[in-house]
């Protein structure tokens, strides 16, 4: 697919990576490309969106656009602008199929299975027990309502990816200028 493929993956990254949801209304996408980014005029944006939907790069569900879940976005370099002619004639999306996983022979593989211990002293994430006290303390010290503390922590989790709730709460506390030694005390020690 070459450079057109890269251009499409870059415009997908530049468009969808900064939003909480992975879908945007059609008109919002046109506005972003034309007014916010100033990459093209509205008529060209409409054409490109239609072409990207036809070729499978974007999906249009009742006027809400989202990238194909099998497309891996590509981070554009600093100062990048899309090459419009390539976007007007995009190639079809090629989805790589994966091999069927081999079936396990349960009798043969039973010896290699991991033994699950049910009498663990700590939950799978030992700091989970500290979440409620952390929320209460951050709320009390910062003056934010508890719901707002949780909302900010969840926003951080969406932005950062695979981050635990207690870590996101720690970041909220740091953002509020609170004592990190108190956070460490609330989280405790796994040993």
Question: Is residue 14 scored above 80 in pLDDT?
Answer: yes
d(Cα 22, Cα 34) in Å, to the nearest integer?
19
- Percent of the chain at pLDDT > 70 equals 78
Q: For residue range 94-123, what is the model confidence (pLDDT) as tens digits? A: 765 544 555 555 555 544 444 544 444 544
62 secondary structure, DSSP code:
T
Domains of the chain in sequence order: 2-88 (1.10.460.10), 128-187 (no CATH)
What is the pTM for the complete model shown?
0.50
Q: For residue range 154-191, what is the model confidence (pLDDT) as tens digits? A: 888 888 877 888 888 989 999 989 888 888 888 876 65
Model confidence at 52, in pLDDT bands (50, 70, 90)?
very high
Query: Of 24, 19, 84, 82, whose CA–CA distance to 48 is shortest?
Result: 84
Q: What is the mean pLDDT of residues 44-48?
A: 94
């Amino acid at each position: 697919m070459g450079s057109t493929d890269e251009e499409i993956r870059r415009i997908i990254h530049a468009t969808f990576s900064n939003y909480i949801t992975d879908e945007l209304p059609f008109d919002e996408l046109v506005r972003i490309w034309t007014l916010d980014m100033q990459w093209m005029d509205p008529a060209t944006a409409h054409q490109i969106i239609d072409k990207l939907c036809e070729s499978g790069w974007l999906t249009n569900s009742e006027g809400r656009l989202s990238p194909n879940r099998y497309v891996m976005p590509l981070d554009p370099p600093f100062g990048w602008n899309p090459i419009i002619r390539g976007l007007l004639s995009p190639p079809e999306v090629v989805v790589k199929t994966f091999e069927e996983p081999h079936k396990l022979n349960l009798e043969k593989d039973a010896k290699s299975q991991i033994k699950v211990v049910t009498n663990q002293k700590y939950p799978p994430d030992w700091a989970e027990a500290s979440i409620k006290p952390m929320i209460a303390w951050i709320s009390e010290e910062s003056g934010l309502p508890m719901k707002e503390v949780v909302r900010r922590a969840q926003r951080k989790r969406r932005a950062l990816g695979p981050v635990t709730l207690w870590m996101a709460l720690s970041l909220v506390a740091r953002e509020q200028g609170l004592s990190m030694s108190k956070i460490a005390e609330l989280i405790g020690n796994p040993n």
